[in-house]
């Protein structure tokens, strides 16, 4: 019986310690909030592992500015995808590489292959010069897209600010990729302040 209790304690303790660390994840960051921003009690953090998905609903009221910062353990940073949208599906924020940007990059690569194939058949003339120019322009676009995607993956945006025109319910969807080999904490630190009036 004593052995069973000891085994149970040894099994549960590491998880309790890890989850406790994740709960403290926001407490450490909370101390860095500067006036006029105020900590919002809707802030949350938790432990995430490979394949884990979670949603957090955040109510944002008109007349306030909101700032939502995402804190992600470095061990899982490259595997985390966070999307913020409202109930209608309008997207406000996303981390990681945008899927549409990846699709555009792939279609540009396919187009460049097609142009290269056309170029083989055309040896000289105005059409050949135009094809060379198109290929060079596409190569520059591909390079730019690839740089943006690499930047999004390796140095993702970590916060966004907005001022709702009316009360709104935001949905923060967080997912860790299946191929992630580590586990770590993810936190959504929400702060708000009274919105500054603009105009007369």
pLDDT of residue 96: 64
Count of all residues that appear for the chain in the document: 200
CATH number, domain with residue 47:
2.60.120.380
Work out how many domains the chain is built from and give that number: 2
104 and 188 within one domain = no
- Model confidence pLDDT, tens digit, residues 36-56: 999 999 999 999 999 999 999
Query: How much is the pLDDT for 171?
Result: 96
CB 47 within 8 A of CB 18: yes
Q: What is the pLDDT of residues 127-147, one digit of tens each?
A: 888 888 888 888 888 888 788
In this predicted structure, the answer to whether residue 186 has a pLDDT above a threshold of 60 is yes
Which stretches of the chain are assigned E, i.e. beta strand?
A: 38-39, 44-48, 53-60, 64-72, 80-86, 91-94, 159-162, 168-176, 184-194
Q: Which residue has better confidence, 198 or 68?
A: 68
Residues 11 and 71 in one domain: yes
pTM for the model stands at: 0.64
pLDDT digits (tens, 9 = 90+) for 61-80: 999 999 999 999 989 988 88
Do 141 and 65 share a domain, yes or no?
Answer: no
At 108-129, the pLDDT tens digits run 888 888 888 887 777 777 888 8
Residue 125 is encoded by which pair of tokens? 């003339």
CA–CA distance, 181 with 194 (Å, rounded to integer):
42
Residues 6 or more apart whose Cβ sits within 8 Å of residue 29 = 69, 71, 187, 189
Structural domain boundaries enclosing 39: 1-96+156-195
Mean pLDDT score, 96-119: 78
């Amino acid at each position: 019986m004593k052995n069973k209790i000891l085994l149970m304690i040894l099994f549960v303790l590491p998880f309790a310690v890890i989850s406790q660390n994740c709960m403290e994840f926001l407490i450490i960051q909370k101390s860095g909030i500067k006036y006029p921003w105020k900590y919002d009690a809707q802030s949350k953090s938790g432990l995430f592992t490979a394949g884990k998905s979670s949603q957090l609903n955040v109510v944002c009221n008109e007349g306030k500015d909101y700032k939502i910062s995402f804190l992600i353990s470095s061990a899982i940073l490259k595997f985390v995808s966070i999307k913020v949208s409202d109930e209608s599906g309008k997207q406000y924020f996303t981390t990681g590489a945008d899927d549409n940007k990846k699709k555009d990059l792939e279609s540009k690569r396919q187009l460049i292959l097609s142009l290269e194939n056309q170029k083989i058949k055309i040896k000289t003339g105005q059409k050949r010069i135009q094809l060379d120019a198109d290929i060079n322009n596409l190569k520059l676009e591909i390079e730019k897209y690839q740089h943006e995607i690499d930047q999004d993956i390796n140095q993702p945006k970590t916060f966004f600010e907005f001022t709702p025109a009316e009360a709104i319910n935001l949905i923060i969807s967080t997912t860790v990729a299946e191929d992630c080999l580590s586990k770590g904490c993810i936190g959504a630190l929400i702060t708000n302040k009274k919105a500054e009036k603009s105009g007369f």
